[in-house]
């Protein structure tokens, strides 16, 4: 069986802003070492959250100012900064010269490249810290003066498309530049949308990914749902995320950004860009919130159909899959997800491929999750390794493929790697990557 798609799409650059590493090199080192980026946060403790641990990227004023000047930073929310950092790294890796501090206004528009950078809950830091206090005091002001202290940059920082337009601005993108949002499937969906966009011939190249801030406001709703976040490991934060583990008690919230540059094989070869790997197929669907699927739980049939559609469209025999990078959040949904993978791949359990959860180290970065995990997949393919899935030495009893979970880093050449994400609203996404073998 051959691929459904008329165009070959490759990855030529990736960028990562992860809780356990800023930039691909640090991210890779942390993934290989099984290093957790989860820590205890005083601001969450002060707010009396049940879950007081989270994954925040190692970014402060020094790191932000190394990329952008103060006036540019003032116009960005947290997620926009992360998206810009990841996109600039991806752009540089793909061969684009970028130095935002030297200036970007005079660089020519790249009419052949666009961006689909998603966000789960955008601009919460701006809403809570800038907009909220002004609005609260507005009633006491003179007419016309109530909301003026918000300033004129407030809308670009709270609009949903803030993350993509930031990337578009700094990289001078002339193709479609937009933001998608499908909860925790956002990052993976962005890659699917970019893949589709290129297949349809609208652009030769797209930056795709997701970004998410770490404001307590973003995490508060999940904390209010009680059993959704991990609240039993406030004293041992690095043990909190236990995807597929017997002690998994909820996901650990996190933020960051992952961006990948997708482009046609022809475009990459014409530019002389280094090809990292190939995107063979991708798909997104929904379980319809029926048959076990709800606003917060996926319909297993929907998950299975999503994965099988990708396999069918690619024409790839499941036996050739070297690794699964699951959604696997460290909740009660993990065994169900593994069950869906088993059904979708239709392989004997002893032949089941390796399966890992990047979230075991970075937590759940929500709208950035799929993208950061795809960056991890690409890096593993390029460098021939499988990162460990930590904190699941005791595998959940309902997960029958314990032998497929790597607890230590494994050096291994990977041919096909499949990655899936799922999100609130019973939405699913899946991408199949292939090692680039030069032809």
Partner 1 sequence: MAFMRKQAVVEAVDINTVTPDDAEKRITAGVKKYATNEANFAAADANTPYLGHIVGMGIESSNLADITMSIERQFLTKMTTKVPLSEGSAEFKLTAGELGKLRILDGQDALAATPGLSVKMLMDLGHMAKNDAYLEKVMSFAYVMACGDGWKMADALKKMAAKAEKLADAERSEALANLKTLVAQAKDYDALLADAAKLAASKAKAYANDKGGFDALNSELNLTLDKIKGVSAGGDAAQLAKLRGEEAEIRTRLKMSAAKLRVSQEVSEAAGKRRAIEDKKVAEVRAALQTAVSSAEKLS
Q: What is the contact surface with partner 1 in residues (CB under 8 A)?
A: 59-61, 63-65, 69-74, 76-78, 80-81, 105, 125-126, 129-130, 142, 145, 148-149, 151-153, 213
385-386 vs 410-411, strand pairing mode: antiparallel
Closest approach, Cβ 74 to partner 1, in A, equals 5
Task: Report which of 188, 232, 157, 218 is spatially closest to residue 327, judged by C-alpha positions.
Answer: 188
Q: What is the C-alpha to C-alpha distance for residues 346 and 148, in angstroms, rounded to an integer?
A: 60
Residue among 142 and 350 whose Cβ is closer to partner 1: 142
Residue among 253 and 300 whose Cβ is closer to partner 1: 253
Residue among 2 and 152 whose Cβ is closer to partner 1: 152
Residue among 139 and 295 whose Cβ is closer to partner 1: 139
Residue among 125 and 337 whose Cβ is closer to partner 1: 125
Residue among 145 and 225 whose Cβ is closer to partner 1: 145
256-264 vs 385-386, strand pairing mode: unpaired
Residue among 63 and 301 whose Cβ is closer to partner 1: 63
Closest approach, Cβ 103 to partner 1, in A, equals 8
- Local structure of 415: helix, strand or coil: coil
Closest approach, Cβ 53 to partner 1, in A, equals 21
Beta carbons within 8 Å of 331's beta carbon, 6+ residues apart: 228, 248, 250, 251
Task: Report which of 367, 359, 393, 369 is spatially closest to residue 37, judged by C-alpha positions.
Answer: 359
Beta carbons within 8 Å of 90's beta carbon, 6+ residues apart: 13, 14, 15, 207, 209, 259, 260, 261
Closest approach, Cβ 260 to partner 1, in A, equals 23
The pair of three-digit structure tokens given for residue 332, joined into one six-digit string: 């009660």
Closest approach, Cβ 61 to partner 1, in A, equals 5
Question: 159 to each of 22, 77, 219, 235, how far by Cα in Å?
Answer: 26, 10, 19, 36
Closest approach, Cβ 123 to partner 1, in A, equals 10
Residue among 80 and 418 whose Cβ is closer to partner 1: 80
Residue among 64 and 303 whose Cβ is closer to partner 1: 64
Question: 102 to each of 96, 114, 170, how far by Cα in Å?
Answer: 15, 23, 12
Q: What is the C-alpha to C-alpha distance for residues 204 and 181, in angstroms, rounded to an integer?
A: 23
Closest approach, Cβ 147 to partner 1, in A, equals 11
Residue among 145 and 159 whose Cβ is closer to partner 1: 145
The pair of three-digit structure tokens given for residue 197, joined into one six-digit string: 């966009």
Closest approach, Cβ 124 to partner 1, in A, equals 11
Q: What is the C-alpha to C-alpha distance for residues 439 and 433, in angstroms, rounded to an integer?
A: 15
**End-to-end CA, the chain:** 18
11, 264 contact by CB (below 8 A):
no
Closest approach, Cβ 261 to partner 1, in A, equals 24
Task: Report which of 286, 290, 362 is spatially closest to residue 330, judged by C-alpha positions.
Answer: 362
Closest approach, Cβ 256 to partner 1, in A, equals 13
- Local structure of 55: helix, strand or coil: strand
Rg (CA), the chain: 21
Residue among 255 and 258 whose Cβ is closer to partner 1: 255
Count of CB atoms situated within 10 Å of the CB of 155: 13
Closest approach, Cβ 349 to partner 1, in A, equals 46
């Amino acid at each position: 069986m051959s691929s459904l798609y008329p165009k070959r799409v490759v990855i030529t650059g990736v960028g990562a802003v992860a809780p356990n590493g800023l930039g691909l090199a640090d991210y890779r080192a942390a993934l290989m070492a099984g290093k957790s980026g989860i820590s205890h946060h005083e601001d969450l403790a002060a707010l009396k959250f049940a879950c007081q641990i989270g994954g925040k990227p190692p970014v402060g004023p020094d790191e932000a100012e190394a990329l952008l000047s103060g006036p540019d930073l003032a116009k960005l929310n947290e997620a926009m900064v992360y998206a810009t950092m990841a996109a600039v790294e991806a752009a540089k890796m793909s061969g684009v010269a970028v130095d935002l501090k030297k200036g970007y206004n005079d660089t020519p528009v790249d009419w052949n490249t666009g961006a689909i950078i998603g966000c789960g809950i955008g601009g919460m830091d701006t809403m809570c810290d800038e907009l909220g206090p002004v609005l609260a005091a507005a009633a006491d002001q003179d007419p016309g003066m109530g909301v003026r202290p918000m300033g004129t940059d407030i809308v670009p920082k709270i609009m949903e498309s803030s993350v993509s337009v930031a990337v578009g601005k700094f990289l001078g993108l002339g193709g479609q530049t937009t933001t998608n949002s499908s909860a925790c499937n956002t990052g993976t969906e962005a890659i699917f949308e970019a893949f589709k966009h290129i297949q349809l011939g609208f652009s030769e190249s797209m930056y795709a990914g997701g970004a998410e801030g770490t404001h307590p406001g973003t995490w508060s709703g999940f904390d209010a749902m009680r059993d959704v976040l991990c609240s039993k490991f406030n004293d041992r934060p690095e043990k909190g995320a236990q995807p597929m583990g017997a002690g998994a008690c909820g996901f650990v919230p996190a933020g960051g950004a992952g961006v990948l540059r997708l482009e046609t094989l022809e475009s990459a070869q014409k530019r002389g860009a280094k090809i990292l790997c190939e995107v063979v197929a991708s798909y997104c669907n929904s379980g319809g919130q029926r048959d076990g699927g709800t606003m917060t739980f996926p319909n297993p049939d929907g998950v299975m159909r999503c994965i099988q559609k990708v396999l069918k469209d690619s024409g790839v025999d499941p036996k050739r899959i070297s690794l699964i990078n699951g959604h696997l959040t460290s909740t009660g949904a993990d065994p169900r997800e593994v069950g869906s993978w088993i059904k979708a791949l239709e392989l004997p359990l002893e032949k089941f491929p390796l399966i890992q959860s990047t979230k075991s180290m970075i937590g759940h970065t929500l709208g950035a999750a799929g993208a950061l995990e795809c960056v991890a997949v690409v890096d593993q393919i390029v460098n021939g390794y499988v990162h460990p899935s930590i904190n699941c030495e005791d595998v959940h009893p309902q997960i029958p493929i314990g032998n497929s979970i790597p607890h230590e880093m494994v050096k291994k050449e990977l041919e096909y790697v499949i990655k899936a994400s799922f999100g609130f609203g019973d939405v699913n996404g899946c991408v199949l990557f292939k090692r680039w073998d030069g032809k």
